[in-house]
Amino acid sequence: MRERIELAKGRIREIAFENIVSEPFGEYFRRTASFLCFLYDGIANFDDKDEAGLKAFNEMLFEELGEEKYAGSYLNPSYACEKLTAPYGRVLSLLYTCVRGVIPFAHENFYGDMRLEDEAILLELYLEVYSCFCSDEEIPSFDALRQIIYSHMSDYADVTVRGRIRDSVDPSLDFAKKIIEESDFSDLSYLYRFGECIDEDTRRTAAYLASLDEAVIRKMADSFTGGFFEGFREAGKDYTVKKTVGIRYPVGFERVIKASIEIFREKGLESVVFRCPVHLLNKRSSAGYFGARPNRQFLFDHKEDMALILDKALAERYLEVYEASCKEFESLLSAMSGPAVMEDFGEPPFIPDKSPDRFVYDEKQKKLNVEMASRIGRLVEEYMPEEETSYTIIAFPTPRIGGDFEKIFDDVIALNTLDSAMYSRIQQKLIDVMDKGVTAHVAGCNGNETDLTVALWPLTDPSSQTIFENCVASVNIPVGEVFTSPVLEGTNGVLFVKQVYLDGLEYRNLRFVFKDGFVTDYSCDNFDDAQKGREYIRTNVLHDHETLPMGEFAVGTNTTAYAMAVKYSIFDRLNILIAEKTGPHFALGDTCYSHAEDLKIYNPDGKEIVARENSCSKKRNEDPAAAYFNCHTDITMPYEELGELSVTDSEGKVYYIIQNGRFVVPGCEVLNEPLEKI
C-alpha cells in the first residue's frame, strides 16, 4: 500500500509541470497537482516545524476554503464551471473536493499505517481521471467522467463504508485519542496533528481552556459525562454491560475531552474518538470530531455532490456493504453504549448562495435518500438497539460569538450546571396543570402569527400516568423543558417564527401549516422567489420528505438562558440545545422516543410517561419504513413572541401556563425573575 501511494505521488509530481492536457483542463490539473505536492512536502517535514511553522502550513492547506480565496478556487463549482465550462466544472470541482480528503489521511499515516488504503484510493482516483484527459482523442465525455467516479465509489465501498462503521465503534483506532491524552495543552502545536482546519477561533478556544483551573475543567467534564450516565439511570438501563462510548466534538476542546475520557474509563467505558466522514460515500452522516469550518458556502455547494452518481444500484451497493459491515463488527456495535456529543456555536446567521452550478438531487434521488435513511435507521436499531443505549449532548460557544466570548463561555458553563433538582420541582408544577388538558393552545404576539392547537395524549389513570416528561440536565443539556409526543389527529393550525437558526442556516418568517399533525404547507421570506424558499425548507428542514409529522411539543423553561441570549444579543447564534429551552418548541419528524416506544419511562414523581408514540410510530412492527422519518428538527418560539400557552380539559375549562411571555402557574414565579431583569 505504501508503494501504491509513493507511485501515485511520483506521478502527481510530474503532472504539476506537464503540458500534455489541453487547456483549460491542463491548468486545472497543474494547480491541483501542485496542491498535493505542497501537502506531501509539508508532511515530510512535519515534526521539524515549530508552532509558527505548523500554523503557516495549516493555513496554506486550507486557504482555498476561506471566503477570499474560494472565489477563485476550483473547489468553487461556479468558478470551476466558468473556467472549465459546464458540466466539466462541476465534476472536476467535486473531484478536487474528494481528493483533498488525503489531507487527514496523510496526517494519520505520517504517524503510522492507519489509513494507507484510504489515501491510496483517492490519489488513484485523481490519476485515473487525469489519464482520460491525456488521450490523443477528444477530451472525455461527461458520462465517461461520471462512470469513473461511480465505479470508484462502488468498487471501494468495502473500504470506505466498512471503514466508517469500524471507525465509530473500535477503540483500538486511537489516532485522535492519543493526541488528546498525550499532548501538553499549553503548547498549541498539538492542534495541527489532527489534519483538520485550525483557524484563529480554534486556537483561541484551546488557549482559553488551557487557562482555566482544573476544577472548572472537571466541572465541565462532569456535566458532560454525568448527563450520559443519568440517561441510563432515568431509563432503567444498565451501562455496565457495555464497553465503549463514542465521543464527537469540535477540535479545540481537547482539555475537556481528556478529562471526560478519564471519567468514562473510571466507569468502565473506553472512548472511541473518530473523525467526521471524509469519503464522499460516507457524507450522509456528519458525526465525529471536526476542525474549523471557515466557509459554509463551500459546505453548501458540495452538500449534494452525491447527485452525480446516486442511483438505485449504488444505493443497494451501499446498503449491502453497510449491512455486511454491521454483521462483521456486531460485537463492537453491541459493546457501544451510545454517543457523547459536544457541539459548538457562535457563527453568525448564514443564507447560502444557491449557485446553479452545484450538484442538486433530483426527485428520484431525494426519494432514494429517504429510503436509504430509513433502512440505515433499521440496521442501527437492529445492531445497537436504543433500548440498550443512551446519549448525551452539550454545547459551548466559540470566539465566533463575538467580543464577549470569555464572558459568554463562563455564563454557558454556569448554564450547563444549573440546579436540576430545583427545575425538576418547578417543572412538575407545570406538568400537574398541563396533564389536565386534552388539547393545548399556542398563540403568538408582537407580530408572531402562531395559532396552533395541539392534541394531547388521553390519560386513563391520572394517578399513575403523565403526558409530559420532566426533562432536567441528563442526556439533553442544559436543564429546562417539559415535552410530549402530541396526538397527530386533532393537531391543527399555524406555527410561525420571525427568525430562527436551524443547523447553521437562518430562516426568516418561517411558517408551517398543520392538519391532523402533518405539515400541509410551508414558507419563509429568505428569498424573493417563494418557490426557492419552499425548496430551501424542504431540503434542510423536511429533509426531502414531502411532509413530516409534529413529533414533539415542548415548553422550554430555562429563562436564565433566554436572559443570557438577550444580554449578549446572541439569539441568532444559539445552539438548538439552548435555544429549545428558551420557549415552547415543536419538532418535525420522529418523536423523542423513536425506537424506544416500548420502554417504560417514569418521571421523578413515579408516574409513567405514556405519550411515547403517535399514529406513525405505532406502525413500527408491521411497517417500520412508514413508522420513522429519521429526522427531528426543533423550532422554538421565543417568550417575547408568545401571547398564550394554555391547555383545555375535557369539560372545556382553560388552564393558562404562559400569558404574554410570563409563566402564570402558581409556584413557577421564579422562572419569571430572569425575564424581569432583562
- The answer as to whether 269 is a domain residue is yes
- The answer as to whether 113 is a domain residue is yes
Are the C-beta atoms of residues 478 and 561 closer than 8 Å to each other? yes
Mark whether 292 and 426 lie in a shared domain. no
**Which amino acid is it at 489?**
E
pLDDT for position 580: 87
The helix or strand, by DSSP H or E, that contains position 105, with its residue range, turns out to be: helix 102-110
Mark whether 254 and 149 lie in a shared domain. no
For 404-427, how does the pLDDT look when each residue is reduced to its tens digit (9 = 90+)? 999 999 999 999 888 888 999 999
Q: Which of residues 454 and 475 earns the better pLDDT score?
A: 454
pLDDT for position 157: 97
pLDDT for position 21: 94
**Which amino acid is it at 183?**
S
For 566-611, how does the pLDDT look when each residue is reduced to its tens digit (9 = 90+)? 999 998 888 888 888 888 999 999 998 888 888 888 998 999 999 9
What does pLDDT average to over the chain?
94
- The answer as to whether 164 is a domain residue is no
Relative to beta strand 608-609, strand 632-636 is unpaired
For 499-524, how does the pLDDT look when each residue is reduced to its tens digit (9 = 90+)? 888 877 889 999 999 999 999 999 99
Mean pLDDT within 288-292:
96
- The answer as to whether 412 is a domain residue is no
How many other β-carbons are positioned within 10 Å of the β-carbon of residue 86?
A: 15
| HSE, side-chain direction, 13 A CA sphere, residue 481 | 28
Q: Which of 374-378, 610-614, 670-674 has the lowest mean pLDDT?
A: 374-378
pLDDT for position 516: 97
Distance CA 581, CA 560 (A): 10
Mean pLDDT within 246-267:
98
Say how many domains are in the chain.
Answer: 3
Mark whether 6 and 120 lie in a shared domain. yes
pLDDT for position 68: 87
Backbone angles phi, psi at 621, to 5 degrees: -85, -40
Distance CA 159, CA 138 (A): 33
Q: Which of 308-312, 599-603, 662-666 has the lowest mean pLDDT?
A: 599-603
pLDDT for position 211: 97
Nearest to 483 by CA among 493, 494, 468: 468
Let me know if 338 is exposed, middle or buried by CB neighbors in 10 A (0-12, 13-18, 19+): buried
Residue 472 pLDDT > 80, yes or no?
no
- The answer as to whether 254 is a domain residue is yes
Residue 475 pLDDT > 80, yes or no?
no
> Helix axis angle, 77-84 relative to 25-44, nearest 10°?
130
Is the peptide bond prior to 604 cis by the omega test (within 30 degrees of 0)? no
Mark whether 429 and 555 lie in a shared domain. yes
Mean pLDDT within 431-440:
97
Mark whether 478 and 597 lie in a shared domain. yes
pLDDT for position 594: 87
For 620-636, how does the pLDDT look when each residue is reduced to its tens digit (9 = 90+)? 888 887 888 888 999 99
Q: How does residue 473 score in pLDDT terms, banded at 50, 70 and 90?
A: low
Q: What percent of the chain has pLDDT over 70?
A: 100
Mark whether 149 and 179 lie in a shared domain. no
Mean pLDDT within 102-119:
92
Mark whether 334 and 207 lie in a shared domain. yes
For 518-557, how does the pLDDT look when each residue is reduced to its tens digit (9 = 90+)? 999 999 999 999 999 999 999 999 998 999 999 999 999 9
Close Cβ partners of 602 (under 8 Å, ≥ 6 residues apart): 608, 609
Residue 657 pLDDT > 90, yes or no?
yes
Query: Which of 319-333, 370-384, 601-615 has the highest mean predicted lDDT (pLDDT)?
Result: 319-333
> Helix axis angle, 102-110 relative to 25-44, nearest 10°?
20
- The answer as to whether 527 is a domain residue is yes
Boundary-marking domain end, from 358, 376, 394: 394
Distance CA 226, CA 475 (A): 8
Residue 162 pLDDT > 80, yes or no?
yes
Mark whether 335 and 450 lie in a shared domain. no
Boundary-marking domain end, from 378, 394, 410: 394
Q: Which of residues 353 and 271 earns the better pLDDT score?
A: 271
pLDDT for position 165: 96
Let me know if 128 is exposed, middle or buried by CB neighbors in 10 A (0-12, 13-18, 19+): middle
Collapsed DSSP state (helix, strand, coil) of residue 556? strand
Report CA torsion sign: 514, 517, 520, 526: positive
Boundary-marking domain end, from 352, 377, 394: 394
Collapsed DSSP state (helix, strand, coil) of residue 655? strand
Mark whether 588 and 498 lie in a shared domain. yes
Mark whether 622 and 499 lie in a shared domain. yes
C-alpha cell at 315: 444505493
C-alpha cell at 431: 406538568
Mean pLDDT within 650-660:
96
- The answer as to whether 402 is a domain residue is no
pLDDT for position 5: 96
Mean pLDDT within 75-82:
97
Residue 137 pLDDT > 80, yes or no?
no
Mean pLDDT within 159-169:
97
- The answer as to whether 408 is a domain residue is no
Domain of 108, in residue numbers: 2-155
Q: Which of 51-55, 321-325, 333-337, 616-620 has the lowest mean pLDDT?
A: 616-620
Distance CA 66, CA 73 (A): 10
Are the C-beta atoms of residues 441 and 648 closer than 8 Å to each other? yes
